[in-house]
């Protein structure tokens, strides 16, 4: 392979205190033919000033505002950055993470004409970049299954894509507010031939974890986040049925049943009604009796705006028995 251009795309929002470290790690890459496209999502701190210093210092950096007609959020910024990029290869990256010096070069070396994407490992760190855990990327079954079961912890910075593989595909779903990379990677990995990707089980980036944010996400019920998770679960159940993978089917059925009743518990009827409309037919395909019972009981519980732990437990037991 000659010396192809790599587009690094970084969405940012109020990261003035962190993005400098990220951009310094880009500058330190031993592979130098890159462009780094930073898309601002409406920062109100000094992010603009920090990034502009890098733009003035090195013309390979570009700084753009997310267009006002695009939906606010990192997803639209990532998609816009892709549209602006000119590289033969594309790597999305986060504005608080750090590239190891060989982050680009070692992945690029694994490409051949047949390969569309290369996935590398990383290191989870705390807020101060102290190492917590290496990410181990070993396929136990197949890429889609291991990823959606989180046996393969593939993160946004992990993948270097061939641009032609992404062209004419829907990229990040701008309606998703949580798990946006999960939704995208699930679609891209589904039915992806093993001959089309390589895994480099070597940590090439530092993935910074923010404790306060993580704790809040774990213990609070945020309706928009729950809706996003439910959309992903319903779509992955459909894929699991097409694959006829009983383990995956069972896993997603249990997730969706729990999500339905938790929605009722939290007075989140929009989510429960979405599950009734979008998942009942999938349950029917799996098992007619379960599908009919789930549909009829769900209609009743939505009407009375309450759930039943006993009925939830019954469906979970029935699903496990049927599969």
What is the per-residue pLDDT across 11-47, written as a single tens digit (0 to 9) for each? 999 999 999 999 999 999 999 999 999 999 999 999 9
List Cβ neighbours of 80 (8 Å cut-off, separation of 6 or more): 39, 64, 66, 67, 70
- CA 119 to centroid of chain Cα atoms: 14
List Cβ neighbours of 212 (8 Å cut-off, separation of 6 or more): none
**First vs last C-alpha separation in the chain:** 48
Q: Residue 267's pLDDT band (boundaries 50, 70, 90)?
A: very high
Kindly give the residue spans of alpha helices, DSSP state H, lying in 30-170.
47-57, 74-84, 103-108, 143-148, 163-166
The H or E element spanning position 68 is: none
Burial of 221 (0-12, 13-18, 19+ CB in 10 A): exposed
CA dihedral 256, 260, 266, 271 (to 10 degrees): 90
Rounded CA separation 269/198 (Å): 43
Rounded CA separation 295/200 (Å): 45
Residue with the two structure tokens 């046996």: 151
Strand locations in the chain (E): 6-12, 34-40, 61-65, 89-92, 98-99, 117-125, 131-134, 159-162, 197-208
DSSP tag of 9:
E
Q: Is the pTM of this model over 0.75?
A: yes
Q: Is the pLDDT of residue 256 over 80?
A: yes
Rounded CA separation 158/97 (Å): 11
Closest CA to 292 of 317, 315, 309, 271: 315
State the CB neighbour count (10 A cutoff) for residue 289. Answer: 11
Q: What is the pLDDT of residues 191-238, one digit of tens each?
A: 999 999 999 999 999 999 987 654 445 568 999 999 999 999 999 999
Q: What is the pLDDT of residues 100-153, one digit of tens each?
A: 999 999 999 999 999 999 999 999 999 999 999 999 999 999 999 999 999 999
Burial of 9 (0-12, 13-18, 19+ CB in 10 A): buried
Closest CA to 42 of 76, 18, 17: 76
Length of the chain as a residue count: 323
Q: Residue 314's pLDDT band (boundaries 50, 70, 90)?
A: very high
State the CB neighbour count (10 A cutoff) for residue 1. Answer: 10
Kindly give the residue spans of alpha helices, DSSP state H, lying in 43-197.
47-57, 74-84, 103-108, 143-148, 163-166, 180-189
């Amino acid at each position: 392979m000659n010396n192809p251009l790599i587009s690094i795309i970084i969405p940012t929002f109020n990261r003035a205190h962190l993005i400098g470290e990220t951009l310094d790690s880009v500058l330190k890459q031993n592979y130098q033919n890159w462009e780094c496209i930073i898309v601002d999502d409406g920062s109100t701190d000094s992010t603009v000033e920090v990034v502009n210093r890098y733009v003035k210092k090195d013309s390979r950096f570009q700084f753009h505002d997310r267009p006002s007609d695009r939906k606010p959020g990192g997803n639209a910024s990532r998609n816009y950055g892709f549209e602006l990029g000119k590289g033969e290869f594309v790597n999305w990256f986060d504005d608080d993470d750090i590239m190891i010096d060989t982050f680009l070069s070692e992945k690029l070396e694994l490409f051949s004409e047949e390969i569309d994407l290369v996935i590398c490992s990383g290191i989870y760190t705390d807020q101060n970049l102290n190492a917590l855990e290496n990410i181990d990327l070993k396929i136990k079954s197949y890429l889609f299954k291991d990823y959606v079961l989180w046996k393969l912890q593939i993160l946004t910075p992990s993948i270097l894509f061939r641009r032609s593989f992404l062209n004419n595909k829907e990229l990040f779903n701008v309606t998703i507010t949580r798990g946006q990379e999960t939704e995208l990677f699930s679609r891209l990995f589904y039915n992806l031939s093993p001959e089309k990707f390589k895994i480099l089980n070597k940590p090439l980036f530092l993935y910074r974890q923010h404790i306060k944010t993580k704790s809040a996400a774990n213990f609070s019920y945020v309706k928009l986040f729950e809706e996003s998770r439910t959309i992903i679960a319903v779509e992955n159940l459909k894929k699991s049925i097409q694959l006829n993978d009983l383990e995956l089917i069972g896993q997603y059925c249990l997730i969706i049943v729990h999500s339905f009743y938790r929605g009722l518990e939290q007075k989140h009827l929009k989510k429960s009604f979405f599950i009734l409309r979008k998942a009942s037919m999938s349950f029917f395909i799996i098992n007619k009796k379960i599908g009919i019972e789930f549909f009829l009981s769900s209609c009743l519980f939505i009407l009375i705006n309450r759930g039943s732990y006993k009925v939830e437990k019954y469906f979970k037991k029935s699903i496990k028995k049927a599969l």
